[in-house]
Chains A and B, each alone.
Chain A
Amino acid sequence: MTLSIVVNGKDHEVASDPDTPLLYVLRDELELNGAKYGCGLGQCGACTVHIENKAVFSCLTPVGAIGDRWVRTLEGLGSIDSPSILQKAFQDEQAAQCGYCIAGMIMRAQALLEKNPKPTDDEIREHMQPNLCRCGTHSRILRAIRRASDVMSKEG
């Protein structure tokens, strides 16, 4: 039995069982390696992707639960040659140290900026709460989100 899911605007047929975490399907079958395996228990946020504009832990989302809801990963935001505003802001602020948490951080922040393009600093902190970083680049991550928000509101 195969399942079909929509990821970054493309239809995919996947062979994994429905109880397989979406994260494993993205990385192992679709070779979208942006989302990372951190804890596998929904406690660190390294695996964060979007289901219909909402940031979710892909390690705790069985692929069988996706149905016809669309999925977006870091790769769906932009590329190395043409990064999204938020990805560019993370580069400009040098917000990554080891970088393991960054894909999840960007996806979590993207969900916020799509809903609320001009969040307050408190709103950013509150929203980013579920995602952890062990290197300690939190203040750069916060600055990057602020920068992206400023750029977006100038352009919009």
Chain B
Amino acid sequence: MRLTKRHLWTGIGGLGVLGVGLAVAAWIVYEPEIPKVPRPDPRMFSSETIKRGEQLATAGDCIVCHTADNGPAFAGSRPLATPFGVLYSNNITPDEQTGIGNWSAAAFRRAVKFGVGRDGTHLYPALPYEHFIRVKDDDLDAIYAFLMTREAVSKIAPPNELLPGLGIRQSLAGWKLLFLHDSREVVDEARSTEWNRGKYLVDGLAHCGACHTPRNLLGGEEWGREFGGGVAEGWNAPPLDKSNPSAARWDVETLVKYLSTGTDTAHSTAAGPMGPVTEGLSRLNKADVHAIAVYIDSVMHPDRTGSPVVNAEPEGVDDKATGSEAAALFQGACAGCHDPASPMAVRGRPPLSGTSDLNSNDPRNAVQAVLQGIKAPVGSNAPYMPSFADNLTDRQIADLLDYARTRFTQNQPWAELERTVHGIRKENQQ
């Protein structure tokens, strides 16, 4: 083929477009390094600022993801299972080599709000910067003061184990273009100061939507479906809007009790990843917990009138089921705690008739409660449920749950329950 002028111009033009494209991409991806600073002297922070930072970090529950099991606080290395592989959290103690000791407050703010490390690398959105972008700089500076006055721990996180092709951090810049929106909180003058405080905490630091909002295939929170319910670590994070299956039974008072103690007798005990969340909130000041409850209550009940519904526990036993295999299983495995007359009731064990898991149309959380058990999230006197995974077969768990749902709630039986139990058991073993 002869090389004509036209070919040449097309070629140059094509290269030009490609070049401009690459330049734009590089400009999007590029984030400058923020120079190291000497580790701040802890005495430069006032005790009021540190205390405020401690409460804000508690609202953000930083410690849960940034602490390994039995590991030192905030030193990272906790494995976080995501649909894209396992990520290990970073060390956020003020250690200079392995933590954030040499980070300036500006570098810290950029990392938390925009997911960019001090050296300019993009951070994975397991750090919920989709939410933290809304946090006020002044609050982040208080958290910075709190973290910088913790004990420095030398600890390097293991390398991430991501699915092939997902280890390219530059691609996160594209993810942020799609899902990270610079949305500052706007005060709603028509609402109370407390409501606005609650919304600020829920949307920002507390990052409730990180689990309670459904995610799209790329792992971003779905637009327009805020609080529509999601999945976290194999448990359903129920919707927090009016589609919540137990919405009619929640109010501000019960939300406060649940969030700050891990249990409300009219509902249930926080299970799965919600357990550590309530443990964190048990250390948050009462005013902020109340504000969170006020805001969540308004989202759940946009047009509530009257008092919340209470599900009474049925008296007596369903005669049809008496003598059945399932009734015998319930009697031998569950009744010691869950029978309406059991002594556990006086310790605040929620009645089965009121538990959201048993009332939900999706059996997932009820199955998980039986398979994994429920650890007392707050304090040592809270209800605790052992795991029944090794005592009972899939079939027996399905029969038991079917029995409990029929006996304690007015809902339709769950379909294909044994298959669901089998599937969730397999998931848990992975």
Interface residues of A (CB under 8 A from B): 17-21, 40-43, 51, 54-57, 59-65, 67, 122, 125-126, 130
Confirm or deny: B63 has a beta carbon within 8 angstroms of a beta carbon on chain A.
Answer: no
Q: Which of B164-217 contact A (CB under 8 A)?
A: none
How far is B397's CA from A65's CA once the two chains are assembled, in angstroms?
A: 10
Contacts of B97 in A (CB 8 A): none
Closest B residue to A129 by beta carbon equals: B375
With both chains docked as a complex, state the minimum distance between the C-beta of B227 and any C-beta of chain A, in angstroms. Answer: 34
Contacts of A41 in B (CB 8 A): 336-337, 344
With both chains docked as a complex, state the minimum distance between the C-beta of A60 and any C-beta of chain B, in angstroms. Answer: 5
Closest B residue to A18 by beta carbon equals: B328
How far is B328's CA from A139's CA once the two chains are assembled, in angstroms?
A: 40
Contacts of A130 in B (CB 8 A): 386
How far is B327's CA from A17's CA once the two chains are assembled, in angstroms?
A: 12
Known: A41-B337, A43-B386, A122-B70. A60 touches B391 (CB 8 A): yes
From B329, B337, B386, A64 is in contact (CB under 8 Å) with B329
Q: Which of B372-399 contact A (CB under 8 A)?
A: 384-386, 388, 390-393, 396
27 A-B residue pairs with Cβ-Cβ distance under 8 Å, sorted by A, are: A18-B328, A18-B332, A19-B329, A19-B331, A41-B337, A41-B344, A43-B384, A51-B390, A54-B390, A55-B390, A56-B390, A57-B386, A57-B391, A59-B336, A60-B332, A60-B386, A60-B391, A61-B333, A61-B391, A61-B392, A62-B331, A62-B333, A63-B332, A64-B329, A65-B391, A122-B70, A125-B70
How far is B396's CA from A65's CA once the two chains are assembled, in angstroms?
A: 7
Contacts of A60 in B (CB 8 A): 332-333, 336, 386, 388, 391
With both chains docked as a complex, state the minimum distance between the C-beta of B344 and any C-beta of chain A, in angstroms. Answer: 7
Contacts of A56 in B (CB 8 A): 390-391
**Contact across chains for B390 and A64 when beta carbons are under 8 A apart:** no
With both chains docked as a complex, state the minimum distance between the C-beta of B403 and any C-beta of chain A, in angstroms. Answer: 12
How far is B331's CA from A55's CA once the two chains are assembled, in angstroms?
A: 21
Contacts of B337 in A (CB 8 A): 41
Q: List the 10 closest A-B pairs by CB distance, nearest first.
A: A62-B332, A54-B390, A19-B331, A42-B386, A19-B328, A19-B332, A18-B328, A61-B391, A56-B391, A56-B390
**Contact across chains for B391 and A64 when beta carbons are under 8 A apart:** no
With both chains docked as a complex, state the minimum distance between the C-beta of B199 and any C-beta of chain A, in angstroms. Answer: 39
Confirm or deny: B325 has a beta carbon within 8 angstroms of a beta carbon on chain A.
Answer: yes
**Contact across chains for A17 and B391 when beta carbons are under 8 A apart:** no
**Contact across chains for A62 and B390 when beta carbons are under 8 A apart:** no
**Contact across chains for B332 and A61 when beta carbons are under 8 A apart:** yes
